[in-house]
Structure 1
Amino acid sequence: MSFLGKTYEHQRDENFKEFLDSPGIPEDFKQKILSMKASQKIEKNGDEYTLTTNDAGNIKELKFKSGVEFDENVFEKVVTKTTITVEGDVVRQKRVAPDGRSMGVERHYNGDEMILVIAAKDGNARRYYKAV
């Protein structure tokens, strides 16, 4: 878990714009996400983790325990049941929306690189990050 405490900054995407064209994602939200240079960091304190995402000054913190479900406010008026599991150098996140649709996010850490893999019924995408 050498990734703990390191900040990873977004570098490039693969199929992400196409992924965002999936039904149910508001157009203004899509444009906002595509224009950001996000960074992410995971820290651990005892058995609790904090995943901090910084999107151009918009900071979001998720506090979680590995494998324990919690409510996540994904975007305005959409709250998912989310479970994040930390297994070695892979962090798996599963979101289930109120309408039953689900999405998986995996963060694969390898030294100073992190590949974020997003998978949903409507498609898949990859986002590439580098430690700064």
Structure 2
Amino acid sequence: MSYINKNFKFVKQENFDGFLRAVGLPEEKIAQIVKFAPDQKLVQDGDSYTYITNGPDGVKEIKFKSGVEFEDVIGADKIPIKTTYTVDGNVVTQNITAPQGTAVFKREYNGDELVVVITGDKFDGVAKRYYKAE
């Protein structure tokens, strides 16, 4: 798991705005969110992990154990969600259940590249966000 403790910087995205529209976000929120491109890092401590994002609004840390569901909030509106991260080799899959529906963020690490593939129950397409290790 060579990606552990590496910082990944945002490079580009595909169809992320389409995903956000499908979950019902208003256009003004979508415009803000697609600009949000925080650095990402995954840190491991024994059987626990900390997923760290560092963006314009500061640092956010999410602590989890692989396969264990927990409650969290997302967005500026603090929408309550249930989420489960599963770490399996070079793939970290996040399953989210929110009032707006369900979504999967599949983070695939390959060398110095990270591709986040986003799907959802209300979204017929696939969105992707690309990152590169520093």
- Do the two structures share a fold, i.e. TM-score over 0.5? yes
Q: Is 1:25 aligned to 2:25, yes or no?
A: yes
Query: One-letter code of the match for 2:59?
Result: I
Rate the CA distance shift 1:23–1:57 in 2: closer, same or farther, 3 A: closer
Partner of 2:37: 37
Query: One-letter code of the match for 1:85?
Result: T
- Structure 2, unpaired ranges of 5+: none
Counterparts in 2 of 1:12-91, with a 5 A limit?
12-75=12-75, 76-91=77-92
Per the TM alignment, residue 37 of structure 1 is displaced from its structure 2 partner at its CA by 3.1
Q: Secondary structure at the match of 2:22?
A: coil
Q: 1:129 aligns with which of 90, 111, 131?
A: 131
Per the TM alignment, residue 28 of structure 1 is displaced from its structure 2 partner at its CA by 3.8
Amino-acid identity (%): 44
TM-score, with length taken from structure 2: 0.90
Question: How far does the alpha carbon of each residue in 1:37-81 deviate from its partner, in whole angstroms, 9 at most, with x for none?
Answer: 321000001111000011224221110000000001112241111
- Matched positions, count: 131
Per the TM alignment, residue 29 of structure 1 is displaced from its structure 2 partner at its CA by 3.0
Query: One-letter code of the match for 1:94?
Result: N
Query: One-letter code of the match for 1:80?
Result: I
Determine the C-alpha separation between the residues in 1 that align with 2:133 and 2:4. Answer: 11
Q: Which 4+ runs in 1 deviate beyond 6 A?
A: none
Query: One-letter code of the match for 1:126?
Result: K
Determine the C-alpha separation between the residues in 2 that align with 1:16 and 1:31. Answer: 11
- Structure 1, unpaired ranges of 5+: none
Judge which range, 19-28 or 89-98, deviates more. 19-28
Rate the CA distance shift 1:23–1:109 in 2: closer, same or farther, 3 A: closer
Partner of 1:10: 10
Per the TM alignment, residue 89 of structure 1 is displaced from its structure 2 partner at its CA by 0.2
Query: One-letter code of the match for 1:125?
Result: A
Q: How much is the aligned-residue C-alpha RMSD, in angstroms? A: 1.5
Per the TM alignment, residue 24 of structure 1 is displaced from its structure 2 partner at its CA by 2.6
Rate the CA distance shift 1:103–1:128 in 2: closer, same or farther, 3 A: same
